Structure 1
């Protein structure tokens, strides 16, 4: 999927990228509810198999390791695609054409040229998915069974049920040590700059450095993959010639596979929309009748509306403070040569690249000492910690493409630094700032981990209210609320895309 997006253009790329982004920014809770509807008893798969005459009662599609793997793969795949895409889109096609002119076939061009050059993105995607999966507890809790408990669930249980804070802290420290070891290995092999998307035109030097660090076994595996792919293609074309099937373009096959990936990412959430209008009282498929009672229950409930308004207020203030801190930090990190710059970048990105539950537990211990537990101030500060890395990364990406000669031209015309920033820099960066604000807003609006550890009392946020209701009773009200959140995220993504197009035209 990442390869197709990096090597394509036009409407199909825009549509597929929108599907990936919609899955990336959609609520994890919403997507988990969708998989409960699809995999559960009387769900989509269960009822579909029953229509075709299969005995679905002997199947166990949910509350096991398989459902956890499916749900977590669905949740983390967009992260991997976007991480690989950030590196792949900077690989120039001239290298592949040069190899082709020397006689290399398509499979060999990919495995011997393109894959080594994209290896930093592939490795970074694997790293981010791995450390994120270690700290996952939402999907395993809702889709897994008693034998599928993960380490993050143990930490949550010790805090929320056992009140054993010392044991929870010990487990979190062990998890942090294991994560740091993984990052140390990654830094020794590829360098932490890969995670910031800080790629440049020195791709050849980077590839040479990486390939020298690969051992002989790794190079042989790449060669074997190239030869196996080449033989597979040759056999496929020979079969086509014998059976006289019209020739299939490789891009067409890649398009078909990418279409399946988009359907896997964006499709499950769509099943919640018709369920939110059902007249039934349970999570079952297909929905029967038509009713607005579940939307009425949501919009007339003081608890649901209060949680929604609080989430919106917290998300707005979080985005404001994240911009207030992140934009100056991005300016300094992008334009100043300061000592320990790489270490500073890594520290600022820590909340994004280590398991969230570790940071949330650290905030729990810190806020308990200063009286911020159960307060809106503590909730906003906790959300800002997680939103700040997104602002820094977004603004650093904008500043890397910003032409500083425009500022110098304003200086030569007598403009002060403040006037230059007000009338030149800020208008040109306005689209990037708006994008960072929206990303921070969505990130905060969907944040559950901090709410579980820091929030308390009668007031709650929308994700935590969804979480509490899902653990106690699964009703179509959850589908109605999930549909509202899903449509809200789509509106935000449309807004980001509109801002990007306006910036591109300007």
Structure 2
């Protein structure tokens, strides 16, 4: 009689064991499936469409051949890579000293400076590009000042390659600074003191000790900037010249005006391939994944570190004196950092007075003293409808991103080893794909299920873009959480719903709110997804502003920009206060 239960229960034991093994991965599964359906599957369909000829039903690389055969398309490809490299070089070169200064300054100064850097970062990309149209236009303040002092060239400040790079740098520089900062803050001061004790000079200390320790973080920031620059289309369309067309702008032309979907898909695949090559090359040089063998890392080290250090220690010995805070150069470094912060913030503040002009056109100096343009905005059904739609979509996308990313962060925070790394990598995939490629790929997906021109499609598309940012914030909160509190509550008789409602969620509420606000800001600012999935019928606030900018630069657009900046600043302050005051058990 006793043998029967053993035989019956034996087959169930392995299943129970497998169930216990798979249980830790269950919270991650919804987010992974969501990204698989709304990101990976559309990208695969886009790649397939780029080589599939619908007329003959055969596979053909003709669209890719066109890119490399036609000189104009080759020039666009070269422009994209070249401008991306210049933006990466300037972003890292300017951002590195600022990140160093942020890591070595006082906590109070760091928080203030980070706020001033992050506020422009969260401000709409469209608003930041529109700022240059206002400031550098023929009737803008810069042109007016040049005429006043007798300088020539006031009418040719816009639509040229240098301005394009400066405007893209204006958007990408905060991203580079924030990405490099953790690498600088992770360096122990004791290591530098030990190097000084052993006789290292300032040049050797910087190039042989400090730079190698921050090199991997710097390379990761450079890669992120370059990947972002590959998909730019707003900046070149608004500020670039006729010889400054980039791949993102060409995709818009092929899809929106020429309806050439196969060629547009091929261009999107080329952007993804260029980004993939950049990722592989950067990982091979700097081992970002940390999986390279020790022998391979050592063999490449002289190329990356030692030779650079030998040359730089000779010709660049003054650079550490400029950087190191203990020397007189510390003052120069602070001045440089605050100058960069001013470069990020002053242009946005400079256009605010123009929202109160009494003129019907943007002229300098403006004749101030009216709220006419704000009244026009709040009484225009088109603008209000677009604003309300952006608020609804932003709320839905942020909520869905918090749920999916929160579950994933909860599961990954309790994992160890390679699976945790793979989980984090899966949720970072949207950062490696330019938004214009994601938008184009999702258009094909939602067109098949008749969801184009719906709020739901835009919300789902925005959720994909929100998830990496929200996931990063929530993962930090879950990793800092003391899980022994749950065990203590369970020991006292609390069930899982009580633990979640009275222990876990109250302690993580600031992190959840910060993640929600970050997701909302990402969605509220997003133009590319709305441009494709809106179908011309569902207009968000950035889409409405984009349509208006293409027609005319008017004081009404400045007023709308001021309203957007005010809303984003308020939400950003809430997010920062939540992260600053969050409880760490």
Verify same fold: TM over 0.5: yes
Within a 5 Å distance, the mapping from 1:1-20 to structure 2 comes to: 1-20=98-117
Cα shift at 1:345? 2.8
> Residue 3 of structure 1 contacts residue 88 of structure 1 at CA under 8 Å; is this kept in 2?
yes
> Residue 314 of structure 1 contacts residue 376 of structure 1 at CA under 8 Å; is this kept in 2?
yes
Q: Name 1:471's counterpart in structure 2.
A: 550
Query: Which is worse superposed, 109-118 or 43-52?
Result: 43-52
* SS of aligned partner of 2:582: helix
Q: Name 1:23's counterpart in structure 2.
A: 120
Within a 5 Å distance, the mapping from 1:429-448 to structure 2 comes to: 429-448=508-527
Q: Name 1:241's counterpart in structure 2.
A: none
Within a 5 Å distance, the mapping from 1:166-185 to structure 2 comes to: 166-185=262-281
Provide the TM-score with structure 2 as the length reference: 0.78
Q: Name 2:170's counterpart in structure 1.
A: 74
1:93 to 189, 200, 203: 189
Q: Name 1:223's counterpart in structure 2.
A: 310
Q: Name 2:6's counterpart in structure 1.
A: none
Within a 5 Å distance, the mapping from 1:398-477 to structure 2 comes to: 398-477=477-556
Q: Distance in 2 between matches of 1:7 and 1:449?
A: 38
> Residue 127 of structure 2 contacts residue 561 of structure 2 at CA under 8 Å; is this kept in 1?
yes
Q: Distance in 2 between matches of 1:422 and 1:454?
A: 38
> Residue 192 of structure 1 contacts residue 346 of structure 1 at CA under 8 Å; is this kept in 2?
no
Q: Distance in 2 between matches of 1:369 and 1:362?
A: 12
Q: Name 2:258's counterpart in structure 1.
A: 162
Q: Name 1:489's counterpart in structure 2.
A: 568
> Residue 358 of structure 2 contacts residue 368 of structure 2 at CA under 8 Å; is this kept in 1?
yes
> Residue 117 of structure 1 contacts residue 207 of structure 1 at CA under 8 Å; is this kept in 2?
no
Structure whose alpha-carbon radius of gyration is higher = 2
Q: Give RMSD over aligned pairs.
A: 2.5
* SS of aligned partner of 2:581: helix
Q: Name 2:408's counterpart in structure 1.
A: 329
2:156 to 60, 72, 80: 60
Q: Distance in 1 between matches of 2:315 and 2:321?
A: 10
Query: Which is worse superposed, 97-106 or 263-272?
Result: 97-106
Q: Distance in 2 between matches of 1:24 and 1:96?
A: 32
Q: Name 1:260's counterpart in structure 2.
A: 339
Cα shift at 1:407? 2.3
Pair 1:37-2:134 in alignment: yes
Cα distance change on mapping 1:235 and 1:19 into 2, 3 Å: closer
Q: Distance in 2 between matches of 1:224 and 1:390?
A: 39
Cα shift at 1:228? 3.0
Cα distance change on mapping 1:211 and 1:110 into 2, 3 Å: farther
Cα shift at 1:193? 5.0
Pair 1:370-2:430 in alignment: no
Q: Name 1:186's counterpart in structure 2.
A: 282
Cα shift at 1:346? 2.4
Query: Which is worse superposed, 170-179 or 210-219?
Result: 210-219
Q: Distance in 1 between matches of 2:530 and 2:339?
A: 35
Cα shift at 1:154? 0.7
> Residue 307 of structure 1 contacts residue 460 of structure 1 at CA under 8 Å; is this kept in 2?
yes
Residue ranges of structure 2 left out of the alignment (5+ in a row)? 1-97
Render the CA deviation track for 1:174-212: whole Å, top value 9, x for unaligned: 221221122222333445558xxxxxxxxxx99999665
Q: Distance in 2 between matches of 1:505 and 1:346?
A: 26
> Residue 283 of structure 1 contacts residue 475 of structure 1 at CA under 8 Å; is this kept in 2?
yes
Q: Distance in 1 between matches of 2:445 and 2:439?
A: 10
Cα distance change on mapping 1:234 and 1:431 into 2, 3 Å: closer
> Residue 155 of structure 1 contacts residue 172 of structure 1 at CA under 8 Å; is this kept in 2?
yes
Cα distance change on mapping 1:320 and 1:281 into 2, 3 Å: same
Q: Name 2:39's counterpart in structure 1.
A: none
Render the CA deviation track for 1:270-290: whole Å, top value 9, x for unaligned: 112001011122233321232
Query: Which is worse superposed, 495-504 or 371-380?
Result: 495-504
Cα distance change on mapping 1:120 and 1:167 into 2, 3 Å: same
Q: Distance in 1 between matches of 2:414 and 2:252?
A: 41
Within a 5 Å distance, the mapping from 1:251-290 to structure 2 comes to: 251-290=330-369
> Residue 25 of structure 1 contacts residue 442 of structure 1 at CA under 8 Å; is this kept in 2?
yes
Cα distance change on mapping 1:395 and 1:190 into 2, 3 Å: farther
2:371 to 258, 280, 292: 292
Q: Distance in 1 between matches of 2:304 and 2:469?
A: 37
1:109 to 199, 205, 211: 205
Cα shift at 1:229? 3.4
Q: Distance in 2 between matches of 1:209 and 1:45?
A: 53
Equivalent residue pairs, number: 485
Provide the TM-score with structure 1 as the length reference: 0.90
Residue ranges of structure 1 left out of the alignment (5+ in a row)? 195-204, 237-246
Cα distance change on mapping 1:370 and 1:108 into 2, 3 Å: same
* SS of aligned partner of 1:41: coil
1:393 to 448, 472, 484: 472
Q: Name 2:58's counterpart in structure 1.
A: none
Cα distance change on mapping 1:232 and 1:255 into 2, 3 Å: closer
* SS of aligned partner of 1:215: helix
Render the CA deviation track for 1:316-337: whole Å, top value 9, x for unaligned: 0111111111101111122134
Render the CA deviation track for 1:404-453: whole Å, top value 9, x for unaligned: 22223223333233322222221221111111000000000001010011
Pair 1:318-2:397 in alignment: yes
Q: Distance in 2 between matches of 1:378 and 1:232?
A: 51
